[in-house]
Structure formats: C-alpha cells, structure tokens
Structure 1
Amino acid sequence: MPIELTDIARLAQILERSGVDTIEIEEPGQSLKLVVDTGPRMAVSPTPTVPTKDHSVIAKAEVAGHFLAAHPWRDKPLVAQGQRIEAGAIVGLVKIGLLYAPIVAPAAGTVDAVIAEPGATIGYGTPVVRIRTLS
C-alpha cells in the first residue's frame, strides 16, 4: 500500500508532539524517512496564507530532506531577497534521495528573506522563505 502525503503529514505531527525527531519506514518497494526539525522554531500562524502583523507569510517545507535554493542544473537561486513573486511560485526545493520536492509561495509578495541555509537538512514544517505580502 503506497504511503499518502496526508499520512506523512500526520506522522510528522505525531513525531513533533512526541519529541521524536526521526522515523524510518521500509516496506517492499518503498521507504520513508521523516526528520523533524528540532531546532529553534519561528512563530508562524497556523494557516500560512494569513499575514502576520508585519504583513508577511512563511513558505514552509512539506517534506524532510536537504534544502536547495537553486535547481541543480542552474547556478541562479530560484528566488532572491527583494524579488517579487506570485502565489504558487517555487521558492526552493527539498532533495529527498533522487527526488526534488518544490516549496511554493503561499501568497504573492516580495521575498523578504531566505531563512533556510542551502544544503541544510530540513524537516516537515521548517520555515524556508519569508514573503512580505502586498496588503
């Protein structure tokens, strides 16, 4: 039975609540390793598209892996500070083995900061890019 994205999100929430930072599941034909970021957390609203008081939102990783600011075939980062982006724009990638999962902007605005360090191991829900919204 394939592991669904909703199952992964639920497992990550259980790990975080339990204080466990890593789980690895292997079954014939599939494997899953979840790493929950246990470092200092930023205060983020429960719904990432709701602006904070300073009118910014956070693009967060939806899977665990290694953060990439640029596509491996390109030298230029996907976004840079001060760059204007649309909702749904790819602001980074998470490398999981041979796969690359996109991190998307939850709202349109201007990139305020790239929070995650390129190459760093990030977990589910790790803040990656802060976006100042247009409102």
Structure 2
Amino acid sequence: MSVEELEVLIEQLQGRGIARCEYETEQGSVVLVFAADAAASVAETEQLSTSYSQASLVESPKAGYFLATHPLQGISLAAVGEPVDAGAIIGFIQVGEVLEPVKVKAGGVMVGYCPADGELVGYGAPIARLIPS
C-alpha cells in the first residue's frame, strides 16, 4: 500500500466513529488506531510487512471485561509493533473486583488488540494478534 493510498484511507475513516482499522494485502498489513477525539489526527500507525496468515491469536482465559492497562497503573502493557515475550501479560480480564491476567503463550510482535479496552469478551475470545518475531 502506497503512502498516497494510506492517506486516502485515513481521510475516509476519520470522523466516522471508527477507533481501529486493520487492512491486509499479500505484501503485509496496516493497523490504524485513531484518537478517541474525532477532531484529533491518527494516534498511531504501524505497518508490518508480514503475511497475515502467520499471525497467532492470544485468547481470553475467561469471560469478563478486557482491560489493556492495569486499572491502577494506566500504562498500556503491549504496544502495536513492539515485541512481546512468551509469558508476558498483555492485558487483564476483569470480573467484578478480580483481574485475571492475559498471558502470551509464544512470543512475537504485537499486531493489535481484537477487543476495545473495556469491551465484554467471552471465554476463548481473541484478545490480541501476534506475528512471529
């Protein structure tokens, strides 16, 4: 995908209430994460040159609300495009007052989260997508 095509895609998606877009071709994939404020520009753009078919999913260990940050720390545990080690905690499932960590079984590079922060997920639901590093 060329820079010009990416700019057109961003222009078409901004201001439409879309928080995230994953676009895939045989050459690779692009993940666009937009700022919560509709007037703000793109918060984060990562292009990862790999086949989407190589990606692995991290699944939810239980049903509950997905949190990408610890409620007391407020820091994202895994950023798009960053390497993640096997056994690393990339989020939490909240059920009432209890937080269950979401751990990565095999390391890789974070492509993105599947649910939005605070979204209700079921047991075994995809939480994140990783590609081999």
- Give the TM-score band, short-chain normalised: 0.5 to 0.7
Gap regions ≥5 residues in structure 2: 1-50
Distance 1:96 1:131 in 2: 25
- Runs of 4+ displaced beyond 3 Å: none
SS of corresponding position for 2:53: coil
Distance 1:53 1:130 in 2: 10
* Other-structure match for 1:94: 93
Tell me the equivalent position of 1:111. 110
Aligned residues: 83
Q: How many percent identity over aligned positions? A: 30
Residues 1:77 and 2:76 are matched in the alignment: yes
Return the TM-score normalized by structure 2.
0.59
Query: Aligned to 1:54, what secondary structure does the other structure show?
Result: helix
- Give yes or no for contact 1:70–1:78 (8 Å, CA) kept in 2: yes
Cα distance in 2 for partners of 1:67, 1:57 equals 18
Give the whole-Å Cα distance in 1 for the aligned partners of 2:107 and 2:55. 10
The CA RMSD over aligned residues, in Å, is 1.5
Rounded Cα–Cα distance in structure 2 between residues aligned with 1:96 and 1:104: 17
Gaps in structure 1 of 5+ consecutive residues: 1-51
Corresponding residue of 2:15: none
Opposite residue 107 of structure 1, the aligned amino acid is A
Match of 1:65 in 2: 64
Deviation, 1:75, is: 2.0
CA distance in 2 between partners of 1:93 and 1:68 (Å):
5
Within 5 Å, which residues of 2 pair with 1:1-135?
54-134=53-133
